[in-house]
Amino acid sequence: MNVELERRRSAPAHERTSDVTRTRGWLAGVLGGAAALAAVLAVELSVGGAASLGPSRALSPPHTEAGLSCESCHRSPEESGAEQGEAAAIAEACVGCHGPHPSTRPGHRRMAAEGRLGCPTCHAIHDGHGGVTLTTGAATTRWRDGASWALPASAGVPEWTGARQHVALVEVSACARCHEPTRSDDPMAYCIGARRPGEGPLDPRTPALCFDEHQPLLDAAGTERAAAWELAR
């Protein structure tokens, strides 16, 4: 009896068994997990992420029509003469084609002067860049991130009779970097239209409805440009 108790008090020596030495199981698990991750990444990249990693990022139809390439906008600061880095170099490229047209809003002008706001801040050229093209005798075209489609007659867009116009639309997601669009006391609230009580979250792809901030409203009134903007809204 004492011998049996003595035996129980002595723990058996530790032995390495196949439970901790066999690697085939966990190795297969690791390889399987890596394959699953690769599959998920492939789906994500095919949906839109690949464009952000490679040289074939989508361009808007107006920029494609103008024959722009990556080098047209992505010039080095040394080439463009910009002293504030790549963002400033891109903004200079924008002005090279569109001409200088700073914001008329004091807050935006102040941020631009401080280097915190530039053309790509609101007009995200590759991600969420969209707009409308108005052409006489043809359906109005809506475009976004390189894709374009004709708006149906049921959209209720009046017929356009002026010169062909491209109107860029700024999406709420760009504004939301600084503003809180759904807060009633934020100036941005006027740019999303009336919202019904209990309405769901605001879609970040929703175009802002603000007037063109690059020209004073009274200066633009009655011009073809103002008419195009009103139709685009």
Express each pLDDT in 64-83 by its tens digit. 899 998 888 887 666 656 65
Each residue's pLDDT tens digit, 138-189: 999 999 988 899 998 888 888 899 999 999 999 999 999 999 988 889 988 8
Is 231 a residue whose pLDDT tops 50?
yes
Q: What is the pTM of this model?
A: 0.67
For 145: left if phi > 0, alpha if psi spans -120 to 50, otherwise beta; the answer is: left
DSSP calls for 128-170: S-EEEEE-TTS--EEEETTEEEEPPGGG-PPPP-SS-EEEEE-
Q: How many CB atoms lie within 10 A of CB 96?
A: 13
Q: Six-digit token pair at 173? A: 């997601």
- Within-domain flag for 33: no
Q: Six-digit token pair at 209? A: 């409805």
Question: HSE-up of 214 (CA within 13 Å, CB side)?
Answer: 15
Percentage of the chain modeled with pLDDT above 70: 70
Sign of the torsion formed by the C-alpha atoms of 215, 65, 80 and 171 = positive
- Within-domain flag for 21: no
- Within-domain flag for 105: yes
- Within-domain flag for 52: no
- Within-domain flag for 102: yes
**How many angstroms separate the CA atoms of 204 and 69, rounded?**
28
- Within-domain flag for 165: yes
Domain span including residue 67: 61-170+210-232
Q: Could you give the number of structural domains in the chain? A: 1
CA 120 to chain centre: 10
Q: 55: which DSSP letter?
A: S
- Within-domain flag for 199: no
**How many angstroms separate the CA atoms of 57 and 70, rounded?**
9
- Within-domain flag for 146: yes
Q: Six-digit token pair at 184? A: 């009633």
Closest CA to 65 of 146, 136, 171: 146
Q: 79: which DSSP letter?
A: H
Torsion, Cα of 148, 149, 155, 158 (10° steps): 70
pLDDT at 85 (0 to 100) = 63
**How many angstroms separate the CA atoms of 179 and 218, rounded?**
26
